[in-house]
Structure 1
Amino acid sequence: MDLTLLYRGPLASCDYDCPYCPFAKRRDSREQLRADRARLERFTDWATAQTTDRLSLLFTPWGEGLVRSWYRRALTHLSHQPHIRRVAIQTNLSCRTDWIGDADLDTLALWCTYHPGQTPYDRFLAKCRELDRLGARFSVGIVGLPEHLDAARLLRADLPDRVYLWVNAAEGHTYDDAEAGVWTDLDPLFPYSRRPHASAGLPCRTGESVISVDGEGTVRRCHFVRTELGNLYDGTYRQALRPRPCPLATCDCHIGYVHLETLPLYDVFAGGVLERIPAPPVPRHDAPRTRLPLESAASRCP
C-alpha cells in the first residue's frame, strides 16, 4: 500500500510568537514534552515496522519541532528506511542544521517558513544557504502580508533560483487583483492560495491514500475533518480507507487542498507534494475555476 501520513502530536510550544499564526502558542511543561516525545517515538517505531507499505510522512506540529532533539532523531532515522519514500516537516528553521548531514538527503525534505520580526533576516538566510550547501531538499515561504513584501523580495533575490519561494495568503486579508499580481510575481502559484477552494462533494485523496494521525494514533482523513476512521496502532483504520468526497464547504490550507483531485497540484508538485516543491519549471496558473468568490479569508496553514 502507498500511504501518505500527516502526523501531529501534542507538541504546541514554539520559540516564535507570530501574531498572524492560527496555531496556539504556549510553553509545554516537562511532562507535556515527555508525552510528546513518547508519542513521536511510538509513531516512529510503527512507521519503521511497516516494511510491506510505501510510506510518505509529513510532520505538521502545532509548535516548532526541530528545536527538540527527538524530532531531529526521528526524521534522521526514518529517512534511512528503504520503504519510506519521503519524510518532511514544517519548520521555522530556528533549529541547528548540522544534524541534517546524518540524514538520507534523497528522502528528507524541509518546508521552511520565514517570519519577519521573529528572527533576523540574515540569520534565516544563512540557514537556507547552509541547507543548500549540505544538499538538502527544501522550500521557503512567507505569509503574504503587505509588511512582508520587502522581505519576500529579498528572499527571492538572495535564494538560488532552484529554491521555490511560496507565499501563503494571510488570514483576514483580502487581495485585490493588483496586490495579488505583486505576490504572483514572486510565487507563480500564489493564485492557489489567494482564495479558498470549493470542496463540498468533490473527490479528495484524503481518507483513501492520505490520512491524518494524532499523538494517540487516532486516524482522520485530514487535519480539518474531525470524523475518526480508526486507530493507527490497532490497524482499525485500514478497513475505513476508501474514496470519499470532501464533507466541508471549502478547503483553504495547502496541506488540505493539495490533495483535491479536482486540482492539478499532484502534477504541479510531482515528487514534492509533502515539502511543497513544484516540479521544474514552476508554471504560472490563473486562479482555478473551483475557487469561490472571496468573502472573507479563512485561516491559512503555516
Structure 2
Amino acid sequence: MDLTVLYRGPLASCDFDCPYCPFAKRRDSREQLIADRVALDRFAGWARAQEEDRLSILFTPWGEALVRSWYRRTLAELSRLPHIRRVAIQTNLSARTGWLDDADLDTLALWCTYHPDQVPYERFRDACRDLAARGVRHSVGVVGLPEHLEAARRLRAELPGHVYLWVNAAEGHTYTDAEADRWSALDPLFPYSRHPHRSAGLPCRTGESVISVDGEGTVRRCHFVRTELGNLYDGSYRAALRPRTCPLAVCDCHIGYVHLETLPLYDTFAGGVLERVPAATG
C-alpha cells in the first residue's frame, strides 16, 4: 500500500516570535519534551516496521522541530529506509544543517518558511544557499503580508532559479487584484492560496491514501477533520481507509487542499507534494 502520513506530535514550542502564532516563543517543559521524544520514537518505530508499505511522511509540528536532536536524527534515519519514498518536514530553517550529512538526500526534503521579521535576511538566505549547495530538495516560502513583499522579492532574486518560492495568503487578509498580481509574479501558484477552496462533498485523498497522526497514534483523515479513524499502533485505522468526500465547507490550507481530487495539484507537484516542490522545478 502507498500511504502518505502527516505526523504532528505534542511538541508545541518555537524559537521565533511571530505575532500571528500561538506557539511563538513558547517553551515546552522538560516533561513535555520527553513526552514528545517518546511519541516520535514510537512513530519512527512504526514507520521502520512497515516494510510491506511504501510510506511518504511529512512532519508538520507546531513550532520548530529541527532545533531538537531527536527530530534531526529521526529524519536522517527514516530517509535511509528503502520503503520510505519521501520524508519531509516544515521548518523555519533556524537549526544547524550538519545532520543532513547523515541523510539520504534522494529521500529527504525540507519545506522552509522565511519570517522576515524574525531572522536577519542574510542568515536565512545563506541557509538556503547551504541547502542548495548540499543538494537538498527544498522549497522556500513566505506569508503574503504587505510588509513582506520587498523581502520576498529580494529572496526570489537571490535564490537559485530551480528553487520554488511559494507564497501563502495571509489568514484574514483580502487581496485586491493588483496585490494578488504582485504576489503571483513571485509565485505563479499563489492564486490557489488566495481564496479558500470549496470542498464540501468533493472527493479528497485524505482518509484513503493520506492520513494524519498525532502523538498518541490517533489517526484522522487530515489535521482539519477531527473524526477519528482508529489508531496507528493497533492497526485499527486500516479498516477505515476508503474513498471519501470532504465534510467541511471549505479548505484553506495547502497541506489540506493539495489532496483535493478536484484540483490539479498532484500533477503540479508530482514527485514533490509533501515538500511543495513543483514538478517543473524539482
| Alpha-carbon separation, structure 2, partners of 1:150 and 1:105 | 32
| Alpha-carbon separation, structure 2, partners of 1:23 and 1:193 | 23
Matched, 1:97 2:97: yes
Structure 1 gap segments, 5+ residues each: 283-302
Alignment check: 8 A CA contact 1:20 1:171 kept: no
What amino acid maps onto 1:183 in structure 2? W
Q: CA deviation at 1:56?
A: 0.1
Alignment correspondent of 1:234: 234
Q: CA deviation at 1:81?
A: 0.3
Alignment correspondent of 2:222: 222
Task: Give CA-to-partner distance per residue, 1:83-117, whole Å, 9 cap, x none.
Answer: 00000000000000111111000000000000011
Q: CA deviation at 1:20?
A: 2.5
Q: CA deviation at 1:26?
A: 2.1
- SS in structure 1 of the partner of residue 47 of structure 2: helix
Matched, 1:9 2:9: yes
Alignment correspondent of 2:162: 162
Alignment correspondent of 1:107: 107
- SS in structure 1 of the partner of residue 63 of structure 2: coil
Taking structure 2 as the reference length, the TM-score comes to 0.98
CA 129–82 in structure 1, closer or farther in 2 if over 3 Å, else same: same
Q: How does 1:83-232 map to 2 (within 5 A)?
A: 83-232=83-232
Q: CA deviation at 1:74?
A: 0.3
Q: How does 1:11-30 map to 2 (within 5 A)?
A: 11-21=11-21, 26-30=26-30
| Alpha-carbon separation, structure 2, partners of 1:281 and 1:134 | 17
Q: CA deviation at 1:18?
A: 0.5
Alignment check: 8 A CA contact 2:13 2:23 kept: no
Alignment check: 8 A CA contact 2:211 2:220 kept: yes
Alignment check: 8 A CA contact 1:208 1:244 kept: yes
Q: CA deviation at 1:172?
A: 1.3
Task: Give CA-to-partner distance per residue, 1:164-209, whole Å, 9 cap, x none.
Answer: 0000000111001010000000000000000000000000000000
Alignment check: 8 A CA contact 2:14 2:24 kept: no
What amino acid maps onto 2:41 in structure 1? E
Alignment check: 8 A CA contact 1:20 1:170 kept: no
Q: CA deviation at 1:19?
A: 1.1
Q: Let me know the Cα RMSD of the aligned residues.
A: 1.0
What amino acid maps onto 1:215 in structure 2? G
Moved over 6 A (4+): none
What amino acid maps onto 1:11 in structure 2? L
| Alpha-carbon separation, structure 2, partners of 1:143 and 1:43 | 30
Q: CA deviation at 1:24?
A: 6.5
| Alpha-carbon separation, structure 1, partners of 2:13 and 2:30 | 11
Identity, % of aligned pairs? 80
Matched, 1:66 2:63: no
